[in-house]
Amino acid sequence: MVTKMLHILLVLTTLGADGESLRIVPAADGFSFIRLVHGDSDCAGRVELLHGNQWGTVCDKGWDLTDADVLCKELGCGLADKAIRRAAFGRGTGEIWLTHVQCSGHEASLTQCPRVLHSPRAVNGNPTCTHDNDAGVKCSGALLMPTLSLLSPHTVLSPGEAVRFSCTVVPGHHLNYFNLSTRGIDTPLMTQWVTFAQSRVEFTLSILKTTQQGSYSCLYGIKGISPSSSTLTSPPSNFINITVVELLTPLRWYNTSNEAPTGSVIKGHSFNITCFTEKQYPGGSFQLRLIRSNDTVHQSLPALTPAVTFSFSNAQLSNEGCYYCLYMVQLDGRTFMSRESQPLPVSIRDPDPVLSPMVISCLASALAFLVALVVVIIIIIVARVKLCKRQENPLALELETRTCVDNMYVALG
- Between 21-30, 222-231, 281-290, 374-383, the lowest mean confidence (pLDDT) is in 21-30
DSSP states of 352-367 as a string?
Answer: -STTSHHHHHHHHHHH
From 65-79, 218-232, 350-364, the region with the lowest mean pLDDT: 350-364
What is residue 389's predicted lDDT score, i.e. its pLDDT?
60
- Answer yes or no: is pLDDT of 9 > 50: no
Please say whether the dihedral angle defined by the alpha carbons of residues 172, 177, 183 and 186, taken in this order, is positive or negative: negative
Q: What is the pLDDT of residue 390?
A: 56
Q: For the full predicted model, state whether its pTM sits above 0.85.
A: no
pLDDT-derived band of residue 241, with 50, 70 and 90 as boundaries? very high
> In which band, very low, low, confident or very high, does the pLDDT at 4 lie, cut at 50, 70 and 90?
very low
Using pLDDT thresholds of 50, 70 and 90, give the confidence band for residue 15: very low
pLDDT of residue 408: 44
Q: Can you spell out the DSSP letters for 185-229?
A: --S-SEEEE--TT--EEEEEE-S--GGG-EEEEEEEEEE-SSTTP
Phi/psi at 122 (nearest 5 deg)?
-155, 145
Report which of residues 194 and 227 the model is more confident about: 194
Whether the pLDDT of residue 16 is over 80: the answer is: no
Q: What is the pLDDT of residue 84?
A: 95
- pLDDT band (50, 70, 90) for residue 118: low
pLDDT band at 225 (very low <50, low <70, confident <90, very high): confident
Q: What is the mean pLDDT of residues 26-55?
A: 87
| pLDDT score, position 260 | 87
- The model's confidence at residue 208, banded by pLDDT at 50, 70 and 90, is very high
What pLDDT digit, counting tens, does each position of 260-309 carry? 888 899 999 999 999 999 988 999 999 999 999 889 999 999 999 999 99
Read off the pLDDT of residues 157-206 as tens digits, 9 standing for 90 and up.
Answer: 999 999 999 999 987 667 889 999 999 888 999 999 998 778 899 999 99
pLDDT of residue 163: 97
**Whole-angstrom Cα distance, residue 109 to residue 73?**
8
User: Is 50 exceeded by the pLDDT of residue 401?
Assistant: no
pLDDT at residue 406 greater than cutoff 60: no
Strand order of the sheet with strand 251-255? 251-255, 271-276, 307-312
pLDDT for the residue numbered 222: 85
Mean pLDDT within 64-85: 91
- What pLDDT does 344 receive? 96
Helix or strand (DSSP H, E) at 44:
strand 44-51
pLDDT tens digit string along 314-323? 999 999 999 9
Give 361 or 91, the one with higher predicted confidence. Answer: 91
The mean pLDDT of 36-41, rounded to a whole number, is 91
* Pairing of the two strands 96-99 and 54-58: parallel
Give the span between the Cα atoms of 216 and 241, in whole angstroms. Answer: 6
Contacts of 339 (CB under 8 A, 6+ apart): 247, 249, 326
Report percent pLDDT > 70 for the chain. Answer: 79
Average pLDDT over residues 91-114: 90
Phi then psi for 170, rounded to 5 degrees? -65, 130
Q: What does the pLDDT read at residue 155?
A: 96
**How high does pLDDT run on average in the chain?**
83
Q: Is the pLDDT of residue 150 over 50?
A: yes
- Taking only the tens place, the pLDDT of each residue in 328-344 is 999 999 999 999 999 99
